[in-house]
């Protein structure tokens, strides 16, 4: 049996079928909006933060989160470094200041709202999604609770409700309702010192550069989030190197969805080429077997 | 509809029910469902207790959430239910795609006697591991979301893995089904299935390539969390290659047990060729492991990570790569040269340990190795894992004792001939198996 029309059609049909099936599958790279988009974001100037935790309180009220055991006015929470939790999307931590020990440094921590978020590209049911205005939001009705977003997030921001039989992933979602109407986020609104500044990302970068340029003694010359993991919507200024105040400075400037886009782009290729090659092998070997059988008379 | 199932009457036995009708099928199924032989064996008692306990723990998990039974935390979202049950289990199920590829595509007839057992093992592994995966999902009822399409996350590696995983499980079912058809004496159905064989296997190999690699690609998104000795952009390729020798070693280990326990189900042909098969698998394993180690060395030198080898994590890395991959490679070569089947079997166990270490390292042990409070599994996580394995073994045992998996297929020559004469006109000529 050679490659006659029927066999050719069969192989072509199989390859085509896989191609069609492949159409319903992931392909190409992640769902990025393109970095030219004008996102809203925050500029967090840690040199201006006084640790009043007004932002924490505003966030708690805005999202009707359970009231913490220790009141927001208490400074006792600063004794230990805190992480965000399913009940607190935003926490302020206190760090020693090596430059001037009498003035501790306060750094707030929440979702960074990456320009190209790893969590959104990791999610297989689009529960995490980047809004055109900038916030990375969570659709709780879509989530299946696989926690791959937590594995993928370079900042360890998504938090899971382990104590619930019907759990959700919880994190700062950037007040999308307010931002969509052109208002600032609840935390920025509450900040009494201007340490949290709301605005268009591009304007915030300009502002940050201006501050560093005009007051080089006050700032460490780096905007955290301008380039980290491909850029983040929420960016920081600091008086000391960022690793001194618990930022990861080893994350690189490559966007995280890019880490898997190479692999994903090989998927359609493999899905189409592999069956074609394997069918080819199969015909080749079957032909040879048949010839061998003819030469040897009957059967094996 | 008139049934065309042939009933062979065995003297002294009640007539077998006609499985061609619904009533007969149910009757036959009910008859077969009953256990054969002694029920209260030590093995059944121990695994039975494990399964019962597992069901209780699963009940607690469903009622109170994952935190009630697991040691998972905000820092370690994935534990052994993912790292061992799914990531390691799927690697071991790789024997099915590599063996069907060898036998049906490359026509290496030598391995034919072990294909059915391997495919059955693979199929059950996938069914039970995806079951275990559901336990780990916080909201398992939403698992259909990426499948029915109300939220397609095309850009996600996990989306790719989920789809390929699901489709491959269906392929494995088609590959297992000739044995089911023979068990039910559905000659016509078997004939149709056999015509789909080649196409199914080719699809299966393709799907396996991508989801074995895809399981590795999942971890590409955590470059800052996985120890640099294990993190590499080659993880997908390494996962794919190692799934081959994981599969080989699992076939060898599995046959060690099936030959002892189910020796009454084996036929002569199977028994006679068995040593040759094992030695062949050893040789195949060794060459794949050599390729794997070569890639590992390239990763190590190109990443300039040689200095890390002298740290505690580096020594642990050497335990995995040298102790449980390089040494088994050497032992496989020695065993093949000496034609030593015992050594092949021992080496398969070492290789399997190496694969377990590798998968657990990437997903659990070298994951966030820098944290002060490390994850270790709770006893309930381990118990449920054992329960899942026990359930799988029960089903495996049940199938082996009833369907023609280890022995030769029953002879349906008579029925085939009748079918030939009366089907000639209508059989669709989509003949896949050449």
Q: How confident is the model at residue A33 (pLDDT cuts 50, 70, 90)?
A: very low
**Which residues in A lie closer than 8 A to residue B142 (C-beta atoms)?**
125, 141-145
Question: Which residue, chain included where needed, has tokens 């690697």?
Answer: B91
**Structural domain contains residue B183:** yes
b (16+ CB within 10 A) / e for A119-150: bbbbbbbbbbbbbebbbbbbeeebbbbbbbbb
Q: Which residue has the higher pLDDT, B205 or B302?
A: B205
**Which residues in B lie closer than 8 A to residue A30 (C-beta atoms)?**
155-156
- Residue B357: closest CA among B326, B401, B398: B326
Specify which of A40-44, B297-301, B369-373 reaches the highest per-range mean pLDDT. Answer: A40-44
Q: How confident is the model at residue A299 (pLDDT cuts 50, 70, 90)?
A: very low
Q: How many CB pairs under 8 A join A and B?
A: 203
Mean pLDDT of B106-125: 91
Mean pLDDT of B412-434: 54
A170 three-class SS = strand
The answer, for A97 touching chain B at a CB cutoff of 8 Å, is no
- Give the pLDDT score at A111: 97
- Give the pLDDT score at A27: 35
With both helix axes pointing from N to C terminus, report the angle between B157-184 and A257-295 in degrees, rounded to the nearest 10: 30
Q: Which residues contact A167 (CB under 8 A, 6 or more apart)?
A: A145, A160, A161, B65, B66, B138, B139
Q: How confident is the model at residue B151 (pLDDT cuts 50, 70, 90)?
A: confident
- DSSP letter string over B325-353? IIHHHHHHHHHHHHT-HHHHHHHHHHHHH
Please tell me whether the overall predicted TM-score, pTM, comes out greater than 0.80 for this model: yes
Closest by Cβ to A271, choosing from B140, B142, B210: B210
- Give the pLDDT score at A9: 53
In this predicted structure, the answer to whether residue B411 has a pLDDT above a threshold of 80 is no
Please judge whether B217 and A248 are an interchain contact, meaning their C-beta atoms are less than 8 angstroms apart.
no
Domain that holds residue B266: 44-409
- Give the C-alpha distances (Å, rounded to integers) separating B283 from A193, B84, B104, B209, B242: 71, 27, 20, 21, 15
Please judge whether A151 and B78 are an interchain contact, meaning their C-beta atoms are less than 8 angstroms apart.
yes
In this predicted structure, the answer to whether residue B271 has a pLDDT above a threshold of 80 is no
Please judge whether B74 and A154 are an interchain contact, meaning their C-beta atoms are less than 8 angstroms apart.
no
- Give the pLDDT score at B401: 87
- Give the pLDDT score at A26: 37
The residue ranges of every structural domain in chain A are: 40-257
Q: Which residue has the higher pLDDT, A122 or B424?
A: A122
The answer, for A29 touching chain B at a CB cutoff of 8 Å, is yes
Contact A231, A115 (CB under 8 A): yes
- Give the pLDDT score at B35: 77
Mean pLDDT of A80-108: 93
Closest by Cβ to A148, choosing from B152, B158, B225: B158
Among chain A residues, the shortest Cα distance to B164 is held by A25
pLDDT tens, position by position, B203-220: 999 999 999 999 999 999
Question: Which residue, chain included where needed, has tokens 């036929």?
Answer: B267
- Give the pLDDT score at A276: 93
The answer, for A164 touching chain B at a CB cutoff of 8 Å, is yes
Q: Which residue has the higher pLDDT, B6 or A177?
A: A177
**Structural domain contains residue B10:** no
Among chain A residues, the shortest Cα distance to B103 is held by A282
Mean pLDDT, chain B, integer? 87
Please judge whether A21 and B167 are an interchain contact, meaning their C-beta atoms are less than 8 angstroms apart.
yes
First to last CA, chain A: 18
Mean pLDDT of B64-92: 95
Mean pLDDT of A172-178: 95
A128 three-class SS = strand
- Give the pLDDT score at A282: 86
Structural domains in chain B (count)? 1
**Structural domain contains residue B22:** no
Q: B383: domain CATH number?
A: 1.20.1630.10
Q: Which residue has the higher pLDDT, B37 or B121?
A: B121
Window A:194-233, CB contacts with B under 8 Å: none
The yes or no reply on domain A40-257 and CATH 3.40.50.300 is no
Q: What angle do CA B180, B251, B341 make, to 5 degrees?
A: 130
- Give the pLDDT score at B30: 81
Q: How confident is the model at residue B113 (pLDDT cuts 50, 70, 90)?
A: confident
Q: How confident is the model at residue B427 (pLDDT cuts 50, 70, 90)?
A: very low
Interface test with A, best of B64, B154, B430, B432 (most A CBs within 10 A): B154
**Structural domain contains residue B30:** no
Q: How confident is the model at residue B224 (pLDDT cuts 50, 70, 90)?
A: very high
């Amino acid at each position: 049996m050679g490659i006659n029309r029927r066999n050719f059609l069969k192989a072509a049909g199989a390859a085509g079928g896989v191609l069609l099936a492949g159409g319903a599958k992931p392909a190409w790279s992640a769902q990025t909006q393109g970095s030219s988009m004008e996102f809203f974001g925050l500029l967090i100037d840690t040199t201006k933060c006084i640790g009043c935790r007004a932002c924490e309180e505003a966030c708690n009220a805005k999202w009707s989160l359970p009231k913490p055991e220790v009141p927001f006015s208490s400074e006792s929470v600063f004794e230990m470094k805190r992480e965000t939790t399913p009940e607190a999307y935003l926490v302020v931590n206190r760090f020693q200041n090596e430059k001037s020990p009498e003035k501790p440094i306060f750094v707030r921590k929440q979702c960074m709202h990456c320009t190209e978020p790893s969590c959104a590209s990791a999610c297989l049911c689009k529960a995490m999604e980047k809004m055109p205005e900038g916030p990375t939001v969570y659709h709780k009705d879509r989530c299946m609770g696989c926690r791959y977003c937590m594995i993928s997030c370079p900042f360890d921001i998504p938090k899971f409700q382990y104590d619930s039989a019907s759990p959700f992933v919880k994190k700062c979602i950037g007040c999308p309702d307010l931002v969509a109407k052109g208002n600032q986020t609840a935390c920025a609104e509450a900040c009494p010192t201007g340490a949290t500044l709301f605005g268009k990302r591009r304007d915030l970068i300009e502002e940050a550069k201006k501050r560093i340029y005009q007051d080089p003694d006050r700032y460490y010359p780096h905007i955290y989030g301008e380039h980290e993991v491909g850029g983040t919507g929420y960016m920081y200024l600091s008086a000391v190197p960022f690793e001194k105040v618990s930022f990861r400075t080893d994350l690189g400037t490559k966007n995280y969805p890019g880490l898997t886009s190479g692999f994903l782009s090989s998927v359609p290729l493999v899905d189409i080429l592999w069956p074609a090659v394997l069918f080819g092998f199969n015909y080749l070997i079957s032909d040879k077997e048949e010839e061998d059988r003819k030469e040897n008379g009957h059967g094996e | 509809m008139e049934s065309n199932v042939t009933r062979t009457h065995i003297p002294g036995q009640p007539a077998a029910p006609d499985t061609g009708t619904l009533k007969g099928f149910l009757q036959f199924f009910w008859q077969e469902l009953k256990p054969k032989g002694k029920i209260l064996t030590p093995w059944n008692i121990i695994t039975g207790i494990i399964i019962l306990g597992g069901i209780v723990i699963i009940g607690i998990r469903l009622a109170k959430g994952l935190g009630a039974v697991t040691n998972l935390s905000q820092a370690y979202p994935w534990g052994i239910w993912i790292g061992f049950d799914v990531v390691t289990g799927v690697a071991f199920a790789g024997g099915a795609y590599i063996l069907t590829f060898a036998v049906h595509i490359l026509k290496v007839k030598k391995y034919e006697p072990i294909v059915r057992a391997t495919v059955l093992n693979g199929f059950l592994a996938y069914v039970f591991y995806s079951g275990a995966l559901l336990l780990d999902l916080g909201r398992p009822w939403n698992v259909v979301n990426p499948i029915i399409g109300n939220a397609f996350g095309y850009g996600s590696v996990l989306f790719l893995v989920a789809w390929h995983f699901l489709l491959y499980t269906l392929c494995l079912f088609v590959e297992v089904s000739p044995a089911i058809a023979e068990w039910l004496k559905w000659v016509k159905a078997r004939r149709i299935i056999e015509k789909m064989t080649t196409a199914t296997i080719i699809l299966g190999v393709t799907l396996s390539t991508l989801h074995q690699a895809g399981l590795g690609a999942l971890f590409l998104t955590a470059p800052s969390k996985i120890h640099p000795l294990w993190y590499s952009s080659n993880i997908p390729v390494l996962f794919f290659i190692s799934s081959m020798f994981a599969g080989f070693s699992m076939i060898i280990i599995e046959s060690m047990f099936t030959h002892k326990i189910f020796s009454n189900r084996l036929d002569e042909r199977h028994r006679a060729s068995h040593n040759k098969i094992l030695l062949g698998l050893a040789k195949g394993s060794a060459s794949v492991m050599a390729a794997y180690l070569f890639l590992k060395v390239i990763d190590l030198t190109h990443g300039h990570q040689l200095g890390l080898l002298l740290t505690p994590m580096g020594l642990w890395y050497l335990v995995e790569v040298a102790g449980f991959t390089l040494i088994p490679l050497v032992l496989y070569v020695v065993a093949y040269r000496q034609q030593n089947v015992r050594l092949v079997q021992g080496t398969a166990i070492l290789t399997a340990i190496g694969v377990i270490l590798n998968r657990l390292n990437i997903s659990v042990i070298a994951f966030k190795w820098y944290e002060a409070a490390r994850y270790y599994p709770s006893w309930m996580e381990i118990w449920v894992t054992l329960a899942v394995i026990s359930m799988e073994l029960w089903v495996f045992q049940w199938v082996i004792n009833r369907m023609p998996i280890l022995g030769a297929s029953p002879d349906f020559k008579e029925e085939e001939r009748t079918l030939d004469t009366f089907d000639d006109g209508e059989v669709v000529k989509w003949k896949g198996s050449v």
